[in-house]
Amino acid sequence: MSRQTATAPATTPFAFGDQVTVAINVSDFERAIAWYREAFGFELIYKLDDWKWCELWTPIEGVNVGLGQTDDATHGGMSATFVVADIEAAKAHIESMGVVFDDDIHEVAGMVKLAFFRDPDGNALGIAEHI
C-alpha cells in the first residue's frame, strides 16, 4: 500500500481556523473529566458546570477534546484516534486503568499500528503509532 501526500493545499469552500474540538458525549461529567485526564494526561482548559461542558487540552497543537454530559444513551459513529509515539506503552497504561481493548494491536504494513477501545460511556477511541 502506498502513502499519498498532498502536494498542494486543499481547496475549501470557506476559510478554516487553526483549532478543532472533538466533542464527546458522556453520561457522568465529572467521571469523564477524571478518566480522560488519567487515561491521556489531558488538562482542563475550562469547565461550564451549568452546561455540563468542558474542554481539555491535548498535546496536539490546535486539537482539544470537549466533553458534554447528555441523557441520550445513543452513541454515534464518531471515533477519535490519537497518534502516540509508542503504542505498546500507551496500551499498557490504558489497560492499567481496567480498560479492555477490542483486539490486539493491528499493523497496516509499513504505515501504522492501531488499537481500539471504549471509554466508560462506550465511545469508540483508538491509538495509533506511525511506522
- 22-58 pLDDT, tens per residue? 989 899 999 999 999 999 999 999 999 999 999 999 9
Q: How many Å apart are CA 30 and CA 52, to the nearest integer?
A: 9
What tens digit of pLDDT does each residue of 73-123 get? 565 566 788 989 999 999 999 999 999 999 999 998 888 999 999 999 988
Q: How many Å apart are CA 45 and CA 102, to the nearest integer?
A: 30
Which of 53, 30, 55, 57 is CA-nearest to residue 42? 57
What tens digit of pLDDT does each residue of 107-121 get? 988 889 999 999 999
Domain check: are 63 and 86 in the same one? Answer: no
The answer to whether residue 12 is domain-embedded is no
Neighbour tally for 119: CB within 10 Å: 19
Domain check: are 61 and 109 in the same one? Answer: no
The answer to whether residue 3 is domain-embedded is no
Assign residue 56 a region: left if phi > 0, alpha if psi is -120 to 50, beta otherwise?
Answer: beta
Domain check: are 125 and 85 in the same one? Answer: yes
Contact 87, 115 (CB under 8 A): yes
The answer to whether residue 6 is domain-embedded is no
The answer to whether residue 2 is domain-embedded is no
Provide the whole-model pTM.
Answer: 0.72
The answer to whether residue 8 is domain-embedded is no
Residue 91 burial (C-beta neighbours within 10 Å; 0-12, 13-18, 19+): buried
Domain check: are 64 and 86 in the same one? Answer: no
Domain check: are 84 and 131 in the same one? Answer: yes
Residue length of the chain: 131
Residue that the C-alpha cell 493491528 belongs to: 106
> Residue 81's pLDDT is what?
87
> Residue 86's pLDDT is what?
94
Domains identified in the chain, total number = 2
The answer to whether residue 25 is domain-embedded is yes
Q: Which domain does 56 fall in, by range?
A: 20-71
Neighbour tally for 32: CB within 10 Å: 24
The answer to whether residue 119 is domain-embedded is yes
The answer to whether residue 124 is domain-embedded is yes
Domain check: are 98 and 131 in the same one? Answer: yes
Instruction: Give the CATH number for residue 45.
Output: 3.10.180.10
